[in-house]
């Protein structure tokens, strides 16, 4: 594979390798929306007693993906808008999996492979899958051209693959075996960091005995770990013989839990980091866990912005969201920038990193930055410095695309590759003019997709 671009930011607040198990919650507030899913179909009633793994709601636009109850409890539908609340939480043995009759969104006369895939869907493991290029949920009964399983999560800060599988390597390996049983002759690419650590070598030695698993080493530069960048590097075409499925280490573990133990995926490891985190940690939590209980005692500052995801691609958690959503892999805490910097003109940028090395910080060498929510200057017109092109893992020219979009030249922007943008956010980070390139490209992609014929979008 040939690699291009990528960039890392040395940001304060990197979570340690330790995983804290959160105490059992007194209440769960499960958001009905997440990054990809909108659970509009409510499957429970007010006051109903539910058991662990029971479907509380479903997203009928995404193959009836379920929102599962992590614990037994009593349903409250009106207590928090946009949430299903569970009170009287208590542990209870998870019931054996029983397929629903009739099977929703499932083809008739399913074979054993089809039944396994439906089981993944019903037990919440399928939501870990995504199309490598679009990020959408793939059809669980479709035929992929290949599967990419990545152990990398390089954006600061998301739950890393090594933390996920360090104590569960056997489960991870079984998950890969189950994946192989769902396919015919399609390859599985296992993505590992291109480093010589003892644990990475242990994973390589474990997997080398499987002829159907191809190992892929990736340099530790954020952007190169994106599934679309990996797929392109492997020569897997977006509209080839079938979609390219992608999932991370947590997804492989969820596959093992569903197909080995017939148990739902209701608990996950979530990172909690960032400069405003007092003790950055990985947390073992469940969807619906109260955000206040997760964050308040772990904040170093009272005035803090909570980001769902990493600093490059995450979004601010709205005040209306009360619990951890079904897809969140990390919470990043940033200090709100409120004070003015005294005599800032005398020390331009000594405390902030700059890709262009135009700040005074260039004399400091590499250092860990205490990033805040400050813009740190004013937005200016593009100066065609080319930094965005240098770091872009998609090998496009963001500055040129920006100029076409600024003049509403959507056809020209599409011609030179706006549809290949990975939405990684590196171009926005390195831009000295502080242009929000990522948001501009996402808007353009969505507009162009709306204008495409329906059959082309489906393919």
Contact yes or no for 256/265 (Cβ under 8 A): no
Is residue 157 reached through a cis peptide bond, with omega within 30 degrees of 0 on the bond before it?
A: yes
pLDDT < 70 positions in the chain: 96, 100-109, 338-350, 375-378, 453-459
> What are phi and psi for residue 25, nearest 5 degrees?
-75, 155
pLDDT value of position 316 = 93
pLDDT at 455: 46
Residue 97 burial by Cβ neighbours in a 10 Å radius (0-12, 13-18, 19+): middle
Q: Which residues contact 165 (CB under 8 A, 6 or more apart)?
A: 151, 171, 172, 203, 249, 252, 253
| Predicted pLDDT at 379 | 75
The answer to whether 80 touches 29, Cβ cutoff 8 Å, is yes
28-38 pLDDT, tens digit per residue, is 999 999 999 99
Q: Give the per-residue pLDDT at 453.
A: 65
- 3-state secondary structure at position 148: strand
User: Is the preceding peptide bond at 217 cis, omega within 30 degrees of 0?
Assistant: no
Three-state secondary-structure class, residue 257: helix
Residue 150 burial by Cβ neighbours in a 10 Å radius (0-12, 13-18, 19+): buried
Q: How many CA atoms lie within 13 A of 217 on its CB side?
A: 9
Domain ranges within the chain, ordered by starting residue? 110-263, 375-458
Instruction: Pick the closest to residue 213 from 260, 256, 181 (CA basis).
Output: 181
Pairing of strands 188-193, 28-31: unpaired
Which pLDDT tens digit goes with each residue over 397-453? 999 999 999 999 999 999 999 999 999 999 998 988 889 999 999 999 999 988 876
User: Dihedral of CA 348/354/358/361: which sign?
Assistant: positive
Separation between Cα atoms, residue 101 and residue 444, nearest integer Å: 42
Residue tagged 């600061």 (tokens): 156
Gap between the Cα atoms of 135 and 138, Å rounded: 9
**Residue 292 CB partners (closer than 8 Å, separation 6+):** 322
Q: Could you write out the three-class secondary structure of 12-66?
A: CCCCCCCEEECCCCCCEEEECECCCCECCEECCCCCCEECCCCEEEEEHHHCCEE
Which residue in this structure is represented by tokens 């360090």?
166
How far apart (Å, rounded) are the C-alpha atoms in residues 289 and 328? Answer: 11
Q: Which helix (H) or strand (E) holds 178?
A: helix 169-181
Q: Mind giving me the DSSP string for 382-434?
A: -----HHHHH-TT---HHHHHHHHHTT-HHHHHHTTGGG-----HHHHH-TT-
Tokens for 1, please give them. 């594979």
Report helix, strand or coil for 160: coil
């Amino acid at each position: 594979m040939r690699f291009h671009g990528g960039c890392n930011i040395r940001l304060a607040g990197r979570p340690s390798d330790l995983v804290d198990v959160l105490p059992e919650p007194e209440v769960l507030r499960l958001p009905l929306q997440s990054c990809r899913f909108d659970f509009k179909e409510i499957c429970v009633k007010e006051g109903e007693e539910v058991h662990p793994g029971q479907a509380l709601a479903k997203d009928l636009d995404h193959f009836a993906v379920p929102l599962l109850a992590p614990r037994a409890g009593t349903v409250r539908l009106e207590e928090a808008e946009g949430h299903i609340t569970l009170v009287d939480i208590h542990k209870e043995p998870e019931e054996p999996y029983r397929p629903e009759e009739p099977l929703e969104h499932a083809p008739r006369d399913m074979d054993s492979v089809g039944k396994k895939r439906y089981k993944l869907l019903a037990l919440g493991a399928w939501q870990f899958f995504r199309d490598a290029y679009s990020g959408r949920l793939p059809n669980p009964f479709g035929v992929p051209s290949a599967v990419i399983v990545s152990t990398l999560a390089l954006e600061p800060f998301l739950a890393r693959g090594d933390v996920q599988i360090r104590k569960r390597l056997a489960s991870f390996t079984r998950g890969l075996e189950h994946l192989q049983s769902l396919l015919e002759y399609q390859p599985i690419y296992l993505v590992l960091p291109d480093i010589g650590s003892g644990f990475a070598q242990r994973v390589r030695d474990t997997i080398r005995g499987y002829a159907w698993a191809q190992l892929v080493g990736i340099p530790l530069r954020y952007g190169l770990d994106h599934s679309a960048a990996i797929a392109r590097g492997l020569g897997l075409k977006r509209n080839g013989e079938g979609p390219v499925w992608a999932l991370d280490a947590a997804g492989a573990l969820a596959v093992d839990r569903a197909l080995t133990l017939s148990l739902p995926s209701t608990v996950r490891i979530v990172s909690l980091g960032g400069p405003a985190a007092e003790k950055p940690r990985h947390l073992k939590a469940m969807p619906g866990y109260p955000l206040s209980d997760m964050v308040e005692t772990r904040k170093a500052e009272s005035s803090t912005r909570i980001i769902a995801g990493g600093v490059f691609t995450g979004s601010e958690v709205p005040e209306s969201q009360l619990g951890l959503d079904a897809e969140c892999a990390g919470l990043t805490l940033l200090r709100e920038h409120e004070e003015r910097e005294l005599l800032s003109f005398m020390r331009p940028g000594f405390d902030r990193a700059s890709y262009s090395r135009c700040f005074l910080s260039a004399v400091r060498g590499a250092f860990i930055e205490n990033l805040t929510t400050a813009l740190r200057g004013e937005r200016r017109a593009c100066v065609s410095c080319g930094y965005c092109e240098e770091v872009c893992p998609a090998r496009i020219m963001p500055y040129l695309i920006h100029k076409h979009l600024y003049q509403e030249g959507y056809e020209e922007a599409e011609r030179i590759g706006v549809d290949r943008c990975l939405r990684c956010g590196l171009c926005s980070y390195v831009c000295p003019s502080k242009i929000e390139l990522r948001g501009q490209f996402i808007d353009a992609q969505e507009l162009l997709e709306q204008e495409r014929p329906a059959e082309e979008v489906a393919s």
